[in-house]
Amino acid sequence: MKRILLLIGIAMSFAQGVLAQEAINKLSEKSERYLDENYPVTDTLVFSFPNEGKLALYFNHKYYDTDSITAVFQPLLEKATRFPEFQTLAYRLDENFPATQLDQVKFEIEKKYVPHLEMLGLTFPVGLDFTGGNFTPVVGFRAMVHVRNKAFGASITNTIHFPTPVENKLQVNSNWFVNAEFSWELRNIDSSKRNTIGVGYLLNDSSPVLFPGHTIQAYYNRKISDNISLQVGVIGTDNLKTFYPTVGIRFW
């Protein structure tokens, strides 16, 4: 698609006739009445596109100013090549309700009108779990396809178990799980996906003491920084007769 650049014409008008275009993020009648009485619309900021589409933002000048709004929306709208032609779309800005908060409006516009190419991400997570009374290091490989604020993919992870030494000989058991994973981030398309759920199946049974028989796992992972996350889950083993809660940390 040919790139459409945002025109730098930005218009501001005061309250009379400002709500001629109904806001897409219109609230309930009670909420609208509350805003009209306490935080009435005083200004409109209009962004115009070369395809004759327009984005109108309604706001109260005591709580927002045109410079700060422009700084947030102009870089975004320069990428909004899917913005509809010959239409004016309006949103109300107010921090009292989630649907009208500036970050939420920005997210909605980005989700609908900014194209996001699918991207393949490859990572090599490592970490440490506490599983069934044992500390089990984990290493693996992950491949994820990222689409907007979601990602789908799979991983192969090795949960390493150190059984009780026999005749003072250290034993190392590798337990390879293949996992299906889904990641998401609720309100920011550009940020990394901070929430991940996954389910996995044990491919081998080299550690019959810890994972005898058919074994599956389910887990939830939450990023606390770009490269560190906490993970909790449960492993069902011995043909799902025994269950171990797990808690651990991941680095990638």
> How does pLDDT run across 195-208, given as a tens digit for each residue?
999 999 999 865 57
Domain layout of the chain by residue ranges: 10-113, 119-251
Query: Could you tell me if residue 82 is left (phi over 0), alpha (psi between -120 and 50 degrees) or otherwise beta?
Result: alpha
Task: Supply the pLDDT for residue 168.
Answer: 76
Task: Supply the pLDDT for residue 170.
Answer: 79
More confidently predicted of 10 and 143 = 143
Lowest-confidence pick of 42-51, 95-104, 142-151, 222-231: 142-151
> How does pLDDT run across 17-32, given as a tens digit for each residue?
444 678 999 999 999 9
Task: Supply the pLDDT for residue 186.
Answer: 73
The CA dihedral of 221, 222, 227, 228, to the nearest 10 degrees, is -90
Cα separations in angstroms, 167 against 47, 87, 135, 164: 76, 79, 21, 10
- For the record, the structure tokens of 218 come out as 């389910």
Lowest-confidence pick of 13-17, 179-183, 210-214, 220-224: 13-17
Q: Is 36 helix (H, G, I), strand (E, B) or coil?
A: helix
Give the mean model confidence (pLDDT) for residues 168-193: 80
Task: Supply the pLDDT for residue 119.
Answer: 73
> How does pLDDT run across 92-133, given as a tens digit for each residue?
999 999 999 999 999 889 888 887 766 788 899 999 999 988
Residue 102: what residue type?
L
The CA dihedral of 59, 62, 67, 73, to the nearest 10 degrees, is -30
Task: Supply the pLDDT for residue 15.
Answer: 37
Domain 119-251 has CATH 2.40.160: yes
The chain-wide mean pLDDT, for the chain, equals 85
Task: Supply the pLDDT for residue 197.
Answer: 96
Task: Supply the pLDDT for residue 17.
Answer: 40
Q: Is the pLDDT of residue 10 over 50?
A: no
- Under the banding of pLDDT at 50, 70 and 90, the label for residue 162 is confident
Looking at the chain, the number of H-run helices and the number of E-run strands are 3, 13
List, edge to edge, every strand of the sheet that includes 10-14. Answer: 10-14, 43-48, 54-59, 88-92
Identify which of 33-42, 75-84, 146-155 has the greatest average pLDDT. Answer: 33-42
Task: Supply the pLDDT for residue 4.
Answer: 42
- Under the banding of pLDDT at 50, 70 and 90, the label for residue 76 is confident
- For the record, the structure tokens of 107 come out as 């997210």
Q: Is the pLDDT of residue 173 over 70?
A: yes
Percent of the chain with pLDDT over 90: 57
